[in-house]
Amino acid sequence: MSYLKGKSVLITGGTGSFGKAFVQRLLKDDEIKKLVVFSRDELKQFEMAEKISSPKLRYFLGDVRDYQRLIQATDGIDVIVHAAAMKQIPASEYNPMEAIKTNVIGAENIVNAAIANGIKKVVALSTDKAANPANLYGATKLCSDKLMIAGNILAGSRDTRFACVRYGNVLGSRGSVIPFFLDKAKEGVLPITDERMTRFWLTIEDGVQFVLDSLERMHGGEIFVPKIPSFKVTDVARVVCPGVPTKVIGIRSGEKLHEVMITEDDSHSTYEFEDHFAILSPALLQSGVYSKIGKKVEEGFRFSSDNNKVWHTDETFLKVLKDHRILA
């Protein structure tokens, strides 16, 4: 975490699953100057503060929809990690303007506040649902990604740089399928939307590390994608709730059979590294920086959960769940 040494960091949506893990990691490493949790739910901040406190940590109540509040919160900040989002697919479908206000207008406010206050680096959390979006949530996150990448142009001669990280399902996070399955197991049957369905999987700790790595290596204008394993949802059900029968209920509106993190259309601007990919903005691609440090993928390359080279087995998936205390 050498880049963050002596830096002041602000995380939006800091009371969520990722935010808590990120805060705990930074406080544990004890190299930062200051850490600000920016979120809009005072109860969640109170509950988090009861468990996580430090002289370096401050809780700042506010909403990414509120530009002036962001200007106040980001004064004196060096790095922003933007994790705030409205991410539940059904809620976004039924409340589209609320999703747009948080995920799109909120991202615009982050970009403008970062430039106005001279923030050095901004990393925004994206999602696999932003690639070829099939629902409003994915569409708003694609728009958010575009705004973040365009921020590098808007910054002009200023030093502010923006990048995104895009990854799949986070094991054990709020709203993930594992607590859902564990809850449904009590009723004696696990609902499965489609037996062919696959997903990317990573732990919260791996997600935090990937963000920290991305802060280190970013030039500005990248969407970083980790190489993470796939696993069928039916296999998840079998490992998490062995012996519990499943019932196919049909794919839901806005849901994909397989998740995509890099589309064929992005292949012309994607470089591959040992443990990740980087999708480059046109300006960064033309700079030639990445041609010296990475390998360009073949035209038509696609990185999706069904054509992944790396897959979990029952044993490796169960080990991850137990090692990270997601399952007892």
Q: What is the pLDDT of residues 151-161, one digit of tens each?
A: 999 999 999 99
CA atoms of 54 and 37, how far apart (whole Å): 12
Q: Tell which CATH classification among 2.70.98.10, 3.90.226.10, 3.10.129.10, 3.40.50.720 matches the domain 2-168+203-227+261-304.
A: 3.40.50.720
Query: How does strand 169-171 pair with strand 57-61?
Result: unpaired
Give the model's pLDDT for residue 29.
Answer: 87
Structural domain boundaries in the chain: 2-168+203-227+261-304
Average of per-residue pLDDT across 290-309: 95
Distance (Å) of CA 325 to CA 189, 257, 319: 24, 28, 10
Band the pLDDT of 1: cuts 50, 70, 90: low
Residue 176 has pLDDT above 90, yes or no: no
Band the pLDDT of 171: cuts 50, 70, 90: confident
Band the pLDDT of 69: cuts 50, 70, 90: very high
Per DSSP, 188 falls in state T
Residue 33 annotated among the catalytic residues of the structure: no
Average of per-residue pLDDT across 269-294: 96
Give the model's pLDDT for residue 172.
Answer: 73
Average of per-residue pLDDT across 77-84: 98
CB 300 within 8 A of CB 306: no
Q: What is the pLDDT of residues 38-50, one digit of tens each?
A: 999 999 999 999 9
Among residues 7, 87, 121, 129, the one annotated as catalytic is: 129
Nearest to 9 by CA among 125, 120, 104, 93: 120
Helix axes 314-323, 233-240, angle to 10 degrees: 60
CA atoms of 324 and 161, how far apart (whole Å): 33
Average of per-residue pLDDT across 159-179: 88
Band the pLDDT of 211: cuts 50, 70, 90: very high
In sequence order, the 6+-apart residues with CB closer than 8 A to the CB of 186 are: none
The distance in angstroms from the start CA to the end CA of the chain is 30
Residue 156 in tokens: 């002009």
Give the model's pLDDT for residue 30.
Answer: 81
Helix or strand run (H / E) with residue 219: none
Q: Positive or negative CA dihedral for 278, 283, 286, 290?
A: negative
Q: pTM for this structure?
A: 0.95
Average of per-residue pLDDT across 308-326: 93
What is the chain's mean pLDDT, rounded? 95
Q: To which residue do tokens 């699953």 refer? A: 17
